[in-house]
Structure 1
Amino acid sequence: MTGVPNLALTRILRELSWGPRDLARAVNSALGKPGHISPTAPFKWRDQGCVPGGVLPQVIATVLGAAAERDLTCRDLWPDRTWPQDRAVLSTDGLTGPWEPETTLEALSVVAHDVNRRSILAASGAVLLTPLQHWFFEPARAQAAIRGRRVDAALVDGIDQIIDTKRRLDDTLGGGMLYDSVRGELRLVLTLLKNSTYTEDIERRLYAAAAELARLGGWACVDAGHDGAAQRYFNAALRAAHQSGDRALGANILGFMGVQATRTGDPRDAVTLLTSAHAGAAGTLTPTVRAALLGRLARAHGRLGNTHAVQAAADDAFALLAKGRPEDDPPWIYWATTADLAGMVGEAYAYLGDTERAEENLRHAIETMDPQAHPRDRVLLLIRLAELHLTGDVDRACAIATEALTAAEGLDSERVITDLASFRTHLAPHRGSTAAADFDARSAPLFQTN
């Protein structure tokens, strides 16, 4: 009850010799988002009986339970309330066993049947990077045959075609519309792996298909704002890629993990993930794949403020992309074009505060990117460009943001909504202008329904 001190929370904090600020730091660390919780917020939880919203109660129970080395639930901390779920789950829970065929199947089962994505916490630092040490080693091949229907190449060809279609559906519709269908296909491949017979070559291809489906599931979660669930999928995907023996496929999964860490996590983790992807698959990556990894690395360095590293990675990326031969590239790198690379580099320079270079690259990306094939990526870049103009030309910024708002119609992407909301927030000091007021009015319905 608000206004009444929370004695249960007070007791556990006293037991741990923690103050409210210690709890705030622990919760922010668990979320992988420094500053997400104000240092003063836990004072209200403890002294006034306030209950935080969303998944925070489950996070608090998990964090305090880990520190106290015993299970704690929301009911333990707020006994007068009813809780549908008592504790949160770390993205790596259930995915820490040996990297072998049996445990890889278990990991894929975990992510294929997860229900509540919102209650899964994103990891960072050592916990997030732990899969790297396993991925670097060669997988132990399963020798025993699995009973059931024999899978032939034609069936796997069909699965690969389905996966290729889903990649492009994600580009055009957004991850929200793709998630359930990807889980369904992942369960199908999982069933084939568990219950069918096949040659070693078919086994590798099935694991590769499972890896790509799990990667797509993770990317759909990123697009929906479920970072912990996304890491769970990526972890399982990396295991499956490891079993397939396809080092480049694993590097691509690490690349997407790096994108997520750059956007919502610790960019230092992103740099580690992306450099490890490049090193761990050395000799197996085409120039196009290497260029994509370096473009993402430039963006991560941009968030860290590493000007020289951004320039070096960007220069190398454009040089490699020019050497790329589409006929040599794996099917999952189809999206990597000059436009996409320019967008990454433009974002890197935007992070650095280099407005001139950022605008040059972002404009090139927007003008050359196919709006029909990649509407979501183009919308996100339009928002970045609009943000650049906020400090100097509010009318222009609002015109670009309005273009993004119009182009976003029909997309199911929480990333787009979040970025538009961020632009709207930064626009607040300029609400006196006609352009700002018009954008505010036009965008209002989007936020009333989300």
Structure 2
Amino acid sequence: MHRRGFLKSTTSVGLAAALPDIAHAPSAGGRIGSDVPRRLQQRTARLRRLDDVLGGGDTYRTYLSEYHHTRGLLRDGSYTQDTGRGLLSVLAEQAQQAGWAAFDSGRHAEARGLYEASHKAAQQAEDAQLAGNALAFLAYQQLPTDRQAGVQVAARSCATAGPHAAPGVRALLYERLAWAHAVAGQADETEHALEAAHDALAEADDAPQPDWASWVDSTELQIMTGRCWTELGRPLRAVPVLETALSQYDNRHARDKSLYLSWLARAYLQAGEVEQAARVTDQALDLSSGVASVRPRERLAPVLKRLAEHRSLPKVAALLDKARAA
């Protein structure tokens, strides 16, 4: 479903009704059966699909309420030790989902608190993969203010998940480690981490992967590769891989594609291709229109500022007028 059509349906009937195939979650209190963690995990996976078409401003409250519901089950219900561990894993996953929506909507303090809660729950559940992913989220959030600390936490995330984690999980954590190294300006370490991510993804077979890592595929890894080379100021390496990957990337993922296009626009600017940068930025602006996420505009702001130095070019002038009107 197109994003705007989806938004129309969720505005009129609510987010829960937009997913009629999801079974009702159990109520807090009383005995909790051994099937409940699996049912909640399935519900969480289905709700995650909202993030494909909606920004964190639209999904945060929904994800947060799911997290609070499961926390209530753990607090008020009675269950076996195995069921308790299953509930803790679901709680860790839901906290990451809500934390990501908080981060996407600019609620950074709430995001950090949810990531830390996720890490704690994953440790209690003895779920090394989710514990590692919680650290990766924390590293991503930390990078803008403390690059070296971000690198260290990202490295911890890979070590925590361990070498026996599912291939998709290892690919996800290594690509986030590569990004941390790129932000820190460490080119060799970036390349090594990207190679580790590629190697892990190549191991993926028909074995089931955690749903929260299933979105990592060869296209996503290409995009991360291009982002890293852009961050390192290597446009000749960044532009071809980003152009190829983004040509295959569905516009339905409007927020993410607009973000990724911002790195392509920046790479074109690094290469001195101003009109190409303007073309890509124009596409990113169109995609980000109406998305309830603060990140596309934050990413595009410095690109537009640099393009403003070339306002004498007709394509750039038209783009700047469009951005102001938006």
TM-score when scaled to structure 1? 0.63
Paired residue for 2:3?
none
Note the alpha carbon deviations across 1:368-387, whole angstroms, 9 max, x for none: 33332x33222111111011
1:182, distance to aligned residue in structure 2 (A): 1.2
Report the Cα offset of residue 326 of structure 1: 4.8
Looking at structure 1, the residues matched to 250 and 60 of structure 2 have their Cα atoms a distance apart, in angstroms, of: 24
Which whole-Å CA distance do the structure 2 matches of 1:265 and 1:164 have between them?
32
The CA distance in 2 between the partners of 1:346 and 1:265, in whole Å, is 23
- Per the alignment, residue 170 of structure 2 pairs with 290
Equivalent pair of 1:343/1:365 in contact (CA under 8 Å): yes
The match for 2:6 is: none
Q: How does 1:48-447 map to 2 (within 5 A)?
A: 148-262=29-143, 264-372=144-252, 374-391=253-270, 392-446=272-326
Q: Is the 8 A contact 2:96 2:134 kept in 1?
A: yes
Q: What's the offset of the Cα at 1:341?
A: 1.1
The share of aligned pairs that are identical, in percent, is 32
CA contact (8 A) 1:375 1:408 kept: yes
Give the letter for the 2:268 counterpart.
Answer: H
Whole-angstrom CA distance in 2 between matches of 1:426 and 1:165: 40
Inter-partner Cα distance in structure 2 for 1:208 and 1:259: 21
AA aligned to 2:308 is A
The letter of the residue matching 2:259 is L
- Does the aligned pair in 2 maintain the 1:394–1:435 contact within 8 Å? no
Any idea what the Cα deviations from partners look like across 1:362-416, whole Å, max 9, x if unmatched?
22321233332x3322211111101122251222111111111112234211001
Q: Radius of gyration: which is bigger?
A: 1
Aligned to 1:44: none
SS where residue 259 of structure 1 aligns?
A: helix
Higher helix share: 2
- Conserved 8 A contact 1:173-1:410: no
- The DSSP-based 3-state class of the residue aligned with 2:251 is coil
Following TM superposition, the consecutive aligned residue runs of length 4 or more in structure 1 with deviations greater than 4 angstroms are: none
> How far apart are the structure 2 equivalents of 1:400 and 1:168?
27
| Contact 1:166–1:178 (8 Å) recurs in 2 | no
Structure-1 residue corresponding to 2:12: none
Structure 1 distance, partners of 2:273, 2:36, is 56
Deviation larger for 386-395 or 238-247: 386-395
Write the letter of the residue equivalent to 1:387: R
TM-score normalised over the length of structure 2: 0.86
Report what 1:58 is aligned to. Answer: none
Determine the structure 2 residue equivalent to 1:42.
none
> Which residues of structure 1 form unaligned runs of 5+?
1-146
CA distance in 1, matches of 2:52, 2:145: 23
Return the alpha-carbon distance in structure 2 between the equivalents of residues 359 and 250 of structure 1. Answer: 34
Q: Following TM superposition, by how much is the alpha carbon of 1:174 offset from its aligned partner in structure 2, in angstroms?
A: 1.3
Q: Tell me the matched-pair count.
A: 298
Residue deviations 1:173-197, cap 9 Å, x none? 1111111111111121111111111
Q: CA deviation at 1:420?
A: 2.0
